[in-house]
Copies of this chain bind each other. A is one copy, B any other.
């Protein structure tokens, strides 16, 4: 028996979907499949803004990986990847070294901080369950602290969100709903709390439909969100930030800066020796690395050009899961024989949540949605993502059904 070894790194949308699909395509004797992940759970990264705001418990956003795997076909290793060595066909983990015949790199994103002083030290990012629940606790702790000091500190009540992209806007929608509850909880006047969005572009959600952007801004402003558009974050300090707008510097006191203005691929990719373009692997149509035929890259670490607008596709859960589907097919074809497929993005639409019961989106190519109907669509999308990794059982367990 000389079964090929398939090694999958990361159990996010890309890696986990690849694994789940692959275990259906291959028999027990076809291959050794190993999935490596830092935690023993998968999390729905697109739900983390709700956990961070405290509007959804973090356990709702995560699933034990073992519950999703067929243990006779897939070996799960809980460990952290330290280095990828494609020339040696090896991957170094903190506690082990694994070799492979086929590798799937699905290690996701990390925050890009563009060298802004103090950002790494003093800002939060919404990138994991650990970070999301820390943000929730940090905000609550500061609200609890507010009435315990002889001189109340405004920086405890100001919440700054850096970036008006998807994550930033979705977090704003949740936190705007959460703040009145926190104010009641800690006997704080709502008018004392500021929620501030700082975005370098002249508009939030760049590239989105202008009518929907206006709807989103109205919805958020009506709940007390202030927008600072065309404003750059210059510095992040422990008790405040400095922004520049129209050539003027402004200081805003805050102990809570959520940085949601940029992501990059996991930096292990850049260090691996795989050919890359600013940290991402510009994969071939079959999702393999051009420099290494035995390495697939899916999700946020892969770069694929959208020929319609000559720009790379943005890193989304939707594209990662579609890539995973092709990746699983191609791995099965390599192992058992068959044609390799090429990846084609099938845009199912995009919906951004604005908090419970409100959202904006575009589906079916050009159909605009907003308000309740968009919010229902968002929940359908969230449930669909659960369905793809865990079937109807997982949807019933962790799905979102609070549509009224």
| A-to-B contact residues, CB < 8 Å | 39, 130-131, 133-134, 136-138, 140-141, 143-145, 147-148, 185-187
- Residues of chain B with a CB closer than 8 A to A137's CB: 137, 140-141, 143-145
Q: Bound state CA distance, A209 and B209, in angstroms? A: 74
Smallest CB-CB A-B distances: 10 pairs: A137-B144, A141-B141, A137-B141, A134-B144, A130-B147, A130-B148, A133-B144, A137-B140, A134-B148, A134-B145
* Closest Cβ neighbor of A62 among chain B residues: B187
A133, A144, A187: most-surrounded residue (chain B CB, <10 A): A144
- Cross-chain pairs A/B with CB under 8 angstroms, 25 sampled: A39-B187, A130-B144, A130-B147, A130-B148, A130-B187, A131-B148, A133-B144, A133-B185, A133-B186, A134-B141, A134-B144, A134-B145, A134-B148, A136-B144, A137-B137, A137-B140, A137-B141, A137-B143, A137-B144, A137-B145, A138-B141, A138-B144, A140-B140, A140-B141, A141-B141
* Closest Cβ neighbor of A140 among chain B residues: B137
- Residues of chain B with a CB closer than 8 A to A140's CB: 137, 140-141
Q: Bound state CA distance, A141 and B147, in angstroms? A: 17
Q: Bound state CA distance, A141 and B133, in angstroms? A: 9
- Residues of chain B with a CB closer than 8 A to A186's CB: 133
Q: Bound state CA distance, A138 and B137, in angstroms? A: 9
- The distance from the CB of A178 to the nearest CB of chain B, in whole angstroms, is 15
* Closest Cβ neighbor of A136 among chain B residues: B144
* Closest Cβ neighbor of A39 among chain B residues: B187
- The distance from the CB of A14 to the nearest CB of chain B, in whole angstroms, is 23
- Residues of chain B with a CB closer than 8 A to A138's CB: 141, 144
- The distance from the CB of A54 to the nearest CB of chain B, in whole angstroms, is 11
- Residues of chain B with a CB closer than 8 A to A144's CB: 130, 133-134, 136-138
